[in-house]
Amino acid sequence: MISQDLLDILRCPLDPSKTRLRVQEDHLECERCALRFLIKDGFPVLVVEEAGLPAGCESIGQLPCQREPKTVGAANVK
């Protein structure tokens, strides 16, 4: 089980400055974009590529949570 202390510091990896996660039965869910993160061996897997998309959402680009381009350095500069 995820402790409340841990839960207090966890954030959605897509928008770490604002979004909190809440515990569902066997996973964590972002309260903003509703991505579902599995809990493996008691630790949440906060990897967007392994997270489950909410119903009706086909891609990460449609979610309300988005990474801020400036935080990834030059990687995304065209």
Lateral strand order in the sheet of 36-40: 21-23, 27-30, 36-40, 43-44
DSSP element (H, E) containing 21: strand 21-23
In the complex, least distance from residue 51 CB atom to Zn ion, rounded to whole angstroms? 9
Q: What is the CA radius of gyration of the chain?
A: 13
Which lies closer to Zn ion via its Cβ, residue 9 or residue 77? Answer: 9
Estimate to the nearest angstrom the gap between the alpha carbon of 65 and the chain centroid.
8
Helix (H, G, I), strand (E, B) or coil at 49: helix
In the complex, least distance from residue 40 CB atom to Zn ion, rounded to whole angstroms? 19
In the complex, least distance from residue 31 CB atom to Zn ion, rounded to whole angstroms? 8
Which lies closer to Zn ion via its Cβ, residue 18 or residue 40? Answer: 18
Q: Which residues bind Zn ion (CB under 5 A)?
A: 12, 14, 19, 30, 32-33, 65
Which lies closer to Zn ion via its Cβ, residue 1 or residue 46? Answer: 46
